[in-house]
Amino acid sequence: MNSAQNSELSSINPFDGQALRTYTKFDLLQLDTVLQKVSAAQQQWKNTDVSVRVRLLEKLAQVLRKREQELATLATQEMGKTLVSAKAEVQKCADACDYYARHGPAYIADELIASDDNAERIISYQPLGIVLAVMPWNFPFWQVFRCLVPAFMAGNAVVLKHASNVPGCSLAIESVCLEAGAPEFLFKSLLVSGGDARALIEHPLVSAVSFTGSTDAGRKIAATAGRHLKKCVLELGGSDAYLVLEDADIDMAVEKCVTSRLLNNGQSCIAAKRFLVHNSIYGEFAEKFAAAFRLQTSGNPMLSDTDIGPLARPDLAQDLAAQVAESVRLGAVLVCGGLRVSESESDAFYPPTVLGEVRPGMPAFDEELFGPVAALIRVRSDEEAISLANHSEFGLGSGVFSRDGIRARQVAAQLQSGNCAVNDFVKSDPRMPFGGIKASGYGRELSHFGLREFTNIKSTVIR
């Protein structure tokens, strides 16, 4: 690849493989100058009254809603999600702005600790400075805004290194911030390659890192941040296990599980991926589950009647096909799907696929399948289901389906995950902390926990 190509990022529509636009990459030689400007903006921002921050978040929500069609279309064109889901994503970003505008001030207000020794004890939440957001393509707006919004409220600035295949979305976020009245350089989008993230993390003006992406990339991010003693929040991969107990409402469980598995064309870290179903209802569940998968319409993601669009890149479809093929070779049963219409290297589509009789040792059990593929696992007891659910390097989300609320709570309490849903599927929600354990990462986003992650929690005692 020549130097001219190295200096550019191309946006490719995964639906038809057509180039959308070419962008000039950020020159790392300018990094120090840009971060100096970001730092100056943050120094002023941290001293603003909380009411000023609230007004910015309220205005951000207004701009997002005004530009919903434009932003959603951009996301659909750059990474292939359906336009319907892209609009919902933009709306969710606006809702998060509203939530933190209402509740953020209380989350960062000083706390007075009662004492009987004539001392005044204060816990305060002070901004760290510049937060580097290294974000993925699957939710190109939501992933950024769930970092950006609490960071702004806390008094921080944000620098974004977005995924290389969504440069338009990255720059659009900056334009939204500016239109909402954010000070120039309080948010800055830097179009750089993944390999350039290290230089951003190592820069002395960057105080902390928020990363969402693969476990392997997360390890590298954490290692670099750790060498420089910088706070790091990681939301990594998942192979979420959903337990369907023998007393579950099967129709409801099927509906919720199918929705979760196929959300965002199956490309969601917190999507249900492994379904541990009691032997007594396994046959009925598998039949209804596969029937629902067969009804899914794949096609142009811009059309309202399309259920499943392409994966974000052709190589992702190839990787998914290899995982399915290896699982079948090792004994998994192909219940439906699994056959790509085209084996072309430029084809990013993969059909909704259900694998039955999946066991440990198969890619469908051990690895994250990032696409519309479900793994059905037969279990004979709650104990076996819990053991197999926890038999994973991941620990992001989980689910339990049962008509017995007490039993469901007891099972849910034993699942090793950062998030769990009973008779529903896991969704990120500004009201609740979000994150994982084990190889799914550490730290929390959202709620007051996420807001305080990138603050100096300072104790002051006054006598």
Q: Which residues are catalytic?
A: 235, 269
Q: What stretch of H or E contains 85?
A: helix 83-107
Q: Is the dihedral of CA 32, 35, 41, 44 positive or negative?
A: negative
Cα within 13 Å of Cα(168), Cβ side: 18
Task: Give the three-class secondary structure for 120.
Answer: strand
Residue 233 CB contacts under 8 Å (≥ 6 apart), including other chains: 208, 209, 210, 211, 435, 441, 442, 443, 444, 445, 453, 454
Nearest by Cα to 404 from 412, 415, 392: 412
Which residues are registered as beta bridge partners of 178?
none
> Nearest 5°: phi and psi at 363?
-55, -35
Q: Is the dihedral of CA 72, 75, 81, 82 positive or negative?
A: positive
Radius of gyration of the chain (CA): 23
> Nearest 5°: phi and psi at 221?
-60, -50
d(CA 270, CA 238): 6
